[in-house]
Amino acid sequence: MSKGMPGTHTPRGIVIGHGEFAAGLVSAVDQICGMAGKLVSLSIRGLTPEDIETAIQEELARTGARVIFTDLPAGSATLAARRLVRNDLGLMLVSGVNLATLLDFVFNTEASPEDAARSAAERGKASLIVIERS
Amino acid sequence: MGIHLYRIDDRLIHGQVVVGWGQPLNARFLVLVDDLVASSDWEKELYRMAVPPEMEIFFADVATATRDHAKYAADPRPGILITGDIDGMLRLAKGVKAIGSVNIGGVHYRAGRGEKLRYVFLTPAEEQLLRALEGSGVEVTAQDVPSARAVPLAEVLDGESK
């Protein structure tokens, strides 16, 4: 599927989180739809707050991506991303990312990165459900 | 109750603090002691938004934290106090004799620092500051998360545990 889709390997989002969280999510996106090329994964392991900010900045510059996905609202990746968003109009941060969020984002290629990020966040929120025996 | 954990962590407030330690300690307040953060409304708002609603956060520079420590210690809720560097904790401990133990939670790589543990990198000057902290009667151990072993300072400094 991915081979036939235009722009599949142009990253639009950067996923960053603790441990192997980001790589795992991107790997899951790839397994489901083969569109891991739309995303870049980063880990904060062993990095200072300044290093995290620099790593994100470098990937933004290298890829042209305009959306950052982080795992935990209280995490240092989120704090670093918020510093970047503060100084860069049009850069978006989605915190609390999950697989449903990323799948919506990578398929939403017609929308602007900003609209795609908003839509993806809504999809991610809606994917959290509790099921119990009634 | 009062402060259950005094932690040195250059990431200040992040997942390990809020969730990793905050949950098992049932922490209901954080004291972020950092001269730069305390002087910036934007930085304070940044960290305020990073803590869950059930946690209150206080910001203080070292001088204010020294002055207000008795108030934190008397708080009926369990709390965590964090400094972003070793120097800040040493200055605080000099003014607050009630600090019995300090946790090194994260001092990450920077030019001039050597690796002691996976999450602790120190310059020779920082090693001296930690020795001074321990020399003042404070137990100093390194432990990133509660499930890890608390590594005594002497062991941290000899680098054998990395």
Per residue in B74-96, pLDDT tens? 999 999 999 999 999 999 999 99
pLDDT (mean) for A45-50: 88
- The residue ranges of DSSP E strands in chain B, in sequence order, are 2-9, 29-33, 56-60, 78-83, 101-106, 114-117, 120-122, 139-142, 151-152
CB contact under 8 A, B11 and A49: yes
Would you place residue A2 in the very low, low, confident or very high pLDDT band (cuts 50, 70, 90)?
Answer: very low
ipTM of the complex in this document? 0.73
Nearest Cα to Cα of residue B16 among A50, A69, A75, A47: A75
CB of B105 within 8 A of CB of B118? no
Neighbours of A130 (CB within 10 A): 4
The pTM of the full predicted model, rounded to 2 decimals, is 0.83
CB contact under 8 A, A76 and B49: no
Whole-number Cα distances in Å, B157 to B126, B132, B142, B162: 10, 13, 10, 10
- In angstroms, the CA B134 to CA B62 distance is 19
Residues of B in contact with A87 (CB under 8 A): none
Q: What is the DSSP letter of B107?
A: B
- In angstroms, the CA B44 to CA B73 distance is 22
Closest CB to B14 among A51, A75, A82: A75
- In angstroms, the CA B32 to CA A79 distance is 15
CB contact under 8 A, B108 and A72: no
CB of A18 within 8 A of CB of A44? yes
| Mean of the per-residue pLDDT values of chain B | 94
Whole-number Cα distances in Å, B6 to A84, A93, A129, B17, B90: 30, 31, 37, 11, 11
Q: Which bin fits B143, alpha (ψ -120 to 50), beta or left (φ > 0)?
A: beta
What tens digit of pLDDT does each residue of A94-116 get? Answer: 999 999 999 999 999 899 999 99
- In angstroms, the CA A22 to CA A96 distance is 12
Nearest Cα to Cα of residue B73 among B58, B91, B55: B58
CB contact under 8 A, B18 and A74: yes
